[in-house]
Structure 1
Amino acid sequence: MFMSSSSSSRLGWHYDVFLSFRGEDTRKNFTDHLYTALQNAGIHTFRDDNELPKGEEISSHLLLAIQESLISIVVFSKGYASSTWCLDELAKILDCRQTARQIVLPVFFDIDPSDVRKQNGSFAEAFDRHEERFKEEMEKVQKWRTALMEAGKLSGFDLHSIANGHESKLIQMIVEEVLSKLNPRYMKVATYPVGIDSQVKDIISMLCVGTNEVRIVGIYGMPGIGKTTIAKAVFNQIYDQFEVSRCLSNIRERLDQHKGLLQLQQLLRDAFTGFIRLHDDIGDDDEGIKLIKREFFLKRVLVILDDVDQLEHLRGLAGERDWFGPGSRIVITTRDERLLARLEVEKKYHAKGLNNDESLQLFSWHAFKKPHPMKEYVELSEVVVDYVGGVPLALEVLGSNLFERSITHWRSFIEKLQKHLPHQIQGQLITSLDDLDGEVKGMFLDIACFFNGMDKDYVRKILDGRGFYPEMGFDILRERSLLTVNIENE
């Protein structure tokens, strides 16, 4: 996956992460699991019982390890403040944050951040003992207090408020955050990436990474089905196998802006920073194409082009395979299957909705911050999930809207849902309808309102009688993932 030790060394850091924790509290459970997860992700991590050369003084090596780490993760537990060793580490970490711009990520394992910040609870008891013991060194005690106050104000990870007590979920979130800090190319996928693993595996298989041909794979499907999430997850798993990699998100939206295509061409070319000397900004579309061809044709590149809806725009970013070096891979996400056919991509992948179990799990993560609904909300949750039909965006939006709401609120919300979709969902779906011409849009509305689930041949006769061209309309709606016909011709 991500081999960070080499990149950290080039920047002058020996370690990616320094782990500060109180061994008696977390060494054999949470911190051990976190350390293993960081190492498995290719993150070079220091912890004092694993990295110190035998026979040498521990304190000097600890101080050096902190100085040589790009990120410090501080695991605050109830007993953290009782250890003067931990407090000295923390003071040094906060000093490095000021002098060397070290990144500090606090983890509040079994304690409230306000207890750290204000030295309440077990922290207050610990400082009563410190003040008694270090009567002659109150400067040191005050330094510890200042360090705790500063650390308690930092944005971090609270086991109970963020992950609802699930340690494995908290560890996953920490690893993702560290990866994003270590390498800006790493893409944030989703807070709860439910049901995407098999789809990511299928697409990576289609890409055939390692072979020398230039290969283009398209992912298509309706809005909100998870195309972008899947593409980002694919990017994270394979980007380190390419010399240059770039993900251009929200292309359709960006192209509506002034000089949108030029800006996208510039972003794509900027991926080359560090390989060649860059010149002036791109003047026009044709110049952008020439520069992309000139700078990429000898390099093995990975490019994600997300949410493309116009072939001419696509041709301004990845028009021909010979723009890119041997072994390059281009991944395109779109709502329009026809666009991929016109581009003659090697493989097309239809993004799938979640099954019922996955849908309930994703909805529950957003509604309850855990993988299953609370007992008294199970039936209501199933009603919402059945209504949504496996669309991740809708599950996330509806779950978030219902988080920490009463059962009475849930019932009113579900009743309203039958008439009005939340604007976050409707805004995504309406763009697909706006892209249709008047006749096809009329066909879609007729089918949605009157003929959903009916025999296709019967519907075709009715629409034909109304002066539509139904077969052409059916094809367009299928290509835009707005219509499906099952094996029973419904």
Structure 2
Amino acid sequence: MASITSEIASSSSSLPKWEYDVFLSFRGEDTRNNFTDHLYAALDRKGIWTFRDDERLERGKLVSPELLNAIEKSKFAIIVLSRNYVFSSWCLDELVKIVECKEETRLTILSVFYGVDPSDVRKQTGSFADAFAKHEELIKNEEKLQSWRAALTQVANLSGWDTRNNQQFVEEIARKLIGGLHYSYSGVHEDLVGIESRVEEMENLYLSMGLNDVHFIGIWGMGGIGKTTIAQVLYDRIRYHFAGSSFLANVRERSRNDGLVSLQKRLLFDVLSDKNIDISDVQWGINLTRNRLCHKRVLVILDDVDQPKQLEALVGKQSWFGQGSVIIIITRDQHLLITHEVAEEKIYTPEILNSDEALKLFSLKAFKQDSPSKGYEALSENFIYYAQGLPLALKVLGSFMFNRNLDAWESELGRLKKSPEWEILDVLRISFDGLRITEKKVFLDIACFFKGMTKDHVASILRTPHYRPNIDIDVLVEKSLIIISNGTLWMHDLIQELGKEIVRCESLDEPGGCSRLWHKEDILRVLKDNTGTKKVEGIFINTPSKEEDLNVEEKVEDLNAETFSEMRNLSLLKICNVGLPQGLNSLSSDLRLMNWPKCPLKFLPKNFNPNKLVKLIMPCSLIKQLWEGNWSLEWLRIIDLSDSKELIMTLDFARVPKLEELILKGCTKLSVIHPPLGDLKHLILLDLSNCKCLKRLPCKISWESLKFFILSGCSKLKKFPEIVGNMSRLQELYLDETTIEDLPLSMEQLTRLIKLDLTNCKTLSSLPCKISWESLEIFILSGCSKLKKFPEIVENMSHLLELCLDGIAVEDLPLSMEQLTGLTTLDLTNCKNLSSFPGAICSLTSLKTLILSRCSKLHKMEENLGNLEGLEILDMSGTSIRDLPLSMEQLTGLIKLDLTNCKKLSSLPRAICSLTSLKTLTLSGCSKLHKM
């Protein structure tokens, strides 16, 4: 029957108008009082408008015009080919007309072989041969006879039902037929923009499953995205492939208002068409559903499910339903599907509409056409941007703007910026209302403050000694309120707007009564007028994210000393560009995040208890010293006082045992670091760059978690501390522009070091005699003008890619250089003591770039360069080279050769001419060159 289904579906792609769903062609004396009557009654019960030739039309010798018109105005034709059908010239004329309409009006033909062999019909053999013999005696019109034969052959070639093999298929015919009709109807809906492709994805999901199994399928996504519409269209298309079906809409609301028993009754009535079902309680309903449907192939769709008990009462287990059944669960809560054992690959998540689809749907509502009217194009795009592809928002906004002038459109866009449409937010709020208290608080924090930040960052801020927000964040994901992409928290703009509107409604007249403040005007009003209350939990003014932006002068708003006195529950603070000429008397001891660039305070309030503080971020502040006293700082993870140029003393790091990031770069007055810093076991990042007065570090360090250590520009730092513990996690070490003289032997413990930067360490005279940093990829010694010897490489350093030795005083390179088998770049620029081409270089087969520029004593190259066939750039500019070896011809990958200012170069070998890959050859300033 698969081919019949495809014929029905294909016939529905174009939708001409018709008066009848079905034209029924049959021989009355064979079938009228049995099969045909049963079929007609079944179609009538299904609401299918069926025409059958009966007493309403006067019977004559020719098919009446009314009958021919009925055929033309029908969508389907069912031909019941019985033993005596072919003996009736009337039936054969009907048949010819039906076949003609198949081509002309795209009439779909369904054949029933009622007690006859399809082969006899196709070839006109058996009783069909007898009938045509009789016709040939009475009718001398050969053309008519041939048209009858051709029609019979064509109809017999179509897929159909053979009653000799199956007597019980009247209901099957009805289901197949009405399935095709409903497929057509579901496509005739002007608002279903973008739905077709999504329904096809659902169909492919359904069709990919085994027909003999019971399948639970989920449709999961945010409110208003079109989940129910997709399911409704799919339901219309496939419901008649099942023995029974039910679409239970609004399960969440109906279960609360009417109870689960009413839904159980509806489900059983839909599937069984039994009005006498009596259910006394939920358990009775479960038993009845399981017993009555366990052998029946059914389609059940549950719309807007939000509680496990709803699934347990209505579609508890696969064993409740017959083989081939499909149960589709529509929900905003992914965890409901998981707990009901819906496999991940069986959960469909609809995408928001793309820009073209969104514009079309909006235009259909706003202009009753596929695109905007002239003059409204740009405004329409603004509405599309606001809706962010959400079908619900596009429909609501488009309908509201219908038949309004341009001024009204401009006005509504302005209003939306301040007050969103509640018809949209009411749908989205359903998910919020189902959250627990802690989940609601995290949702509002993300909506107001944290959208676009990483999950780990947010979790670390909101974490307390007795609370971890990770599970709440996971629940928000499962309920389609947020998404996590590459570790970052995101939410649809309208869901974010929902969160902000919920907070606004907490105190419409006075923002100081709201739990969260993010509008700069509201925040300044609260801070300047001192109208903040204990309800305020978070204040966020978006501060500059780039260092250079912090230096931009903005208007500073002066606040009084009592500004934060009433805000005792303030836990999140992010402000900038405020002045405190009288200082500050108090800060909330509930603070977990304090992000205050350009903080004007020299000292934090004495009564400020920072025991809950997680992150202290105060770049470019005037702070001289952090708090004194014995405050517990167990939860402090990040301290960022970068470019706080007045800072002269750090805190006692023994009190911050779990510190992970310490950023003091640019603290130019800081000269000493408190010794317990060296014992911090959780420290990951330590940035002391450009602390130009810093003279010493702790003598010994054992930062077992440290990954990034930055001392760039610490121009008074002469000694690097001894490594006494396991620091194998260190990946990047920056000592550039320091006055360090040597490195301790304990540096060999840095087995995972990836980058070591010693640029312009002009007092560095020696390195460890031997190095074995097997993970090192970048090693920079540029400008270390006192370094005369490069150490021996004692173990495999094949990961080293880039070695920069420009400007060092080395005279030669060790032969152990050949162990750098992965080296791609070697820079020896301005190595003025280098007199000969290092032979070890010739074994570096992976080398791509070799720079020997301004090595003024270098006068001769190695004779055999054969192993450098992968070399692409060779810079010999400014050297004393006299000639080039013939082996240059083996540099088959060379792209650029720079010989600028090689004043002693007198000739070039012909071998260069064979370098077909060479694109750039620079010879300017080669004053002695006279032969090419």
Shorter-chain TM band: 0.5 to 0.7
**Equivalent residue, structure 2, for 1:249:** 249
**Equivalent residue, structure 2, for 1:10:** 41
**Looking at both structures, which has the greater relative contact order when contacts are Cα pairs under 8 Å and sequence separation is at least 6?**
1
CA contact (8 A) 1:301 1:324 kept: yes
2:384 partner SS: helix
String of CA shifts for 1:373-392, please: whole Å, max 9, x gaps.
11311111111111111111
2:375 partner SS: helix
Superposition map of 1:323-338 within 5 A: 323-338=320-335
CA contact (8 A) 1:8 1:16 kept: no
TM-score relative to the length of structure 1: 0.64
CA RMSD of aligned residues (A): 3.7
**Distance apart, 1:14 and its partner CA:** 13
Question: Which residue type is aligned with residue 205 of structure 1?
Answer: N
Percent of residue pairs identical: 39
**Distance apart, 1:209 and its partner CA:** 5.5
2:256 partner SS: coil
String of CA shifts for 1:12-58, please: whole Å, max 9, x gaps.
7699999xxxxxxxxxxxxxxxxxxxxxxxxx799xxxxxx998364
Q: Distance in 1 between matches of 2:312 and 2:448?
A: 37
1:412 matched to 2:418: no
Query: Which has the larger helix fraction?
Result: 1
Q: Distance in 2 between matches of 1:475 and 1:195?
A: 30
Q: Distance in 2 between matches of 1:353 and 1:54?
A: 61
**448-457 vs 292-301, greater mean Cα deviation:** 448-457
Q: Distance in 2 between matches of 1:224 and 1:465?
A: 35
Q: Distance in 2 between matches of 1:435 and 1:445?
A: 14
CA contact (8 A) 2:202 2:348 kept: yes
Question: Which residue type is aligned with residue 10 of structure 1?
Answer: A
Quickly say closer, same or farther: Cα 1:467–1:279, change in 2 above 3 A. Answer: same
Superposition map of 1:303-342 within 5 A: 303-342=300-339
**Distance apart, 1:351 and its partner CA:** 1.9
**Distance apart, 1:435 and its partner CA:** 0.7
| 1:287 paired residue among 284, 300, 303 | 284
Q: Distance in 2 between matches of 1:324 and 1:424?
A: 38
Q: Distance in 2 between matches of 1:237 and 1:219?
A: 17
CA contact (8 A) 1:17 1:45 kept: no
Q: Distance in 1 between matches of 2:367 and 2:291?
A: 51
CA contact (8 A) 2:265 2:277 kept: no
String of CA shifts for 1:193-224, please: whole Å, max 9, x gaps.
11122222222222236610100000111111
Quickly say closer, same or farther: Cα 1:16–1:289, change in 2 above 3 A. Answer: closer
Quickly say closer, same or farther: Cα 1:54–1:363, change in 2 above 3 A. Answer: farther
| 2:62 paired residue among 53, 56, 69 | 56
**Distance apart, 1:489 and its partner CA:** 2.8
1:213 matched to 2:213: yes
CA contact (8 A) 1:377 1:407 kept: yes
Quickly say closer, same or farther: Cα 1:13–1:247, change in 2 above 3 A. Answer: closer
**Equivalent residue, structure 1, for 2:375:** 376
1:298 matched to 2:295: yes
Superposition map of 1:44-83 within 5 A: 56=62, 58=64, 60-61=66-67
Question: Which residue type is aligned with residue 397 of structure 1?
Answer: V
**Equivalent residue, structure 2, for 1:400:** 399
1:255 partner SS: helix
Superposition map of 1:53-452 within 5 A: 56=62, 58=64, 60-61=66-67, 191-207=190-206, 208=208, 211-258=211-258, 260-273=259-272, 279-346=276-343, 347-452=346-451
Q: Distance in 1 between matches of 2:386 and 2:328?
A: 31
1:390 partner SS: coil
Structure 2 unpaired stretches of 5+ = 10-20, 25-37, 53-58, 76-177, 490-932
CA contact (8 A) 1:14 1:69 kept: no
Question: Which residue type is aligned with residue 198 of structure 2?
Answer: Q
String of CA shifts for 1:382-430, please: whole Å, max 9, x gaps.
1111111111111101100001111100111111111222222121111
Question: Which residue type is aligned with residue 62 of structure 2?
Answer: E
CA contact (8 A) 2:221 2:350 kept: yes
Q: Distance in 2 between matches of 1:45 and 1:360?
A: 43
String of CA shifts for 1:270-304, please: whole Å, max 9, x gaps.
02345xx6544211111111111111111110001
Q: Distance in 2 between matches of 1:189 and 1:472?
A: 44
Question: Which residue type is aligned with residue 249 of structure 2?
Answer: S
Q: Distance in 2 between matches of 1:367 and 1:466?
A: 53
**56-65 vs 371-380, greater mean Cα deviation:** 56-65
2:204 partner SS: helix
TM-score relative to the length of structure 2: 0.35
Q: Distance in 1 between matches of 2:320 and 2:211?
A: 17
Question: Which residue type is aligned with residue 41 of structure 2?
Answer: R
CA contact (8 A) 1:220 1:336 kept: yes
Select the structure of larger CA radius of gyration: 2
Q: Distance in 1 between matches of 2:277 and 2:457?
A: 60
Q: Distance in 1 between matches of 2:223 and 2:189?
A: 16
String of CA shifts for 1:301-360, please: whole Å, max 9, x gaps.
000111100011111000010100001000000000000000011311112111111111
Question: Which residue type is aligned with residue 485 of structure 2?
Answer: N
CA contact (8 A) 1:15 1:45 kept: no
Q: Distance in 2 between matches of 1:415 and 1:227?
A: 30
Question: Which residue type is aligned with residue 393 of structure 1?
Answer: L
Quickly say closer, same or farther: Cα 1:14–1:283, change in 2 above 3 A. Answer: closer
CA contact (8 A) 2:303 2:330 kept: yes
Q: Distance in 2 between matches of 1:194 and 1:45?
A: 35
Q: Distance in 2 between matches of 1:439 and 1:311?
A: 21
Quickly say closer, same or farther: Cα 1:14–1:427, change in 2 above 3 A. Answer: closer
Question: Which residue type is aligned with residue 238 of structure 1?
Answer: I
CA contact (8 A) 2:186 2:237 kept: no
CA contact (8 A) 2:353 2:391 kept: yes
**Distance apart, 1:488 and its partner CA:** 6.3
2:211 partner SS: coil
Question: Which residue type is aligned with residue 413 of structure 2?
Answer: I
String of CA shifts for 1:221-259, please: whole Å, max 9, x gaps.
11111110111121122112111111111100101113x
CA contact (8 A) 1:16 1:69 kept: no
Question: Which residue type is aligned with residue 290 of structure 1?
Answer: N
Quickly say closer, same or farther: Cα 1:461–1:183, change in 2 above 3 A. Answer: closer
1:302 partner SS: strand
Quickly say closer, same or farther: Cα 1:201–1:61, change in 2 above 3 A. Answer: closer
1:231 partner SS: helix
Quickly say closer, same or farther: Cα 1:190–1:331, change in 2 above 3 A. Answer: farther
Q: Distance in 1 between matches of 2:48 and 2:309?
A: 45
Quickly say closer, same or farther: Cα 1:294–1:191, change in 2 above 3 A. Answer: farther
Q: Distance in 2 between matches of 1:54 and 1:373?
A: 58
Quickly say closer, same or farther: Cα 1:280–1:235, change in 2 above 3 A. Answer: closer
CA contact (8 A) 1:15 1:65 kept: no
Quickly say closer, same or farther: Cα 1:373–1:388, change in 2 above 3 A. Answer: same
Quickly say closer, same or farther: Cα 1:383–1:279, change in 2 above 3 A. Answer: same
Question: Which residue type is aligned with residue 480 of structure 1?
Answer: K
2:271 partner SS: coil
**Equivalent residue, structure 2, for 1:484:** 483
1:385 partner SS: helix
Structure 1 unpaired stretches of 5+ = 19-43, 47-52, 71-178
CA contact (8 A) 2:51 2:70 kept: no
CA contact (8 A) 2:246 2:271 kept: no
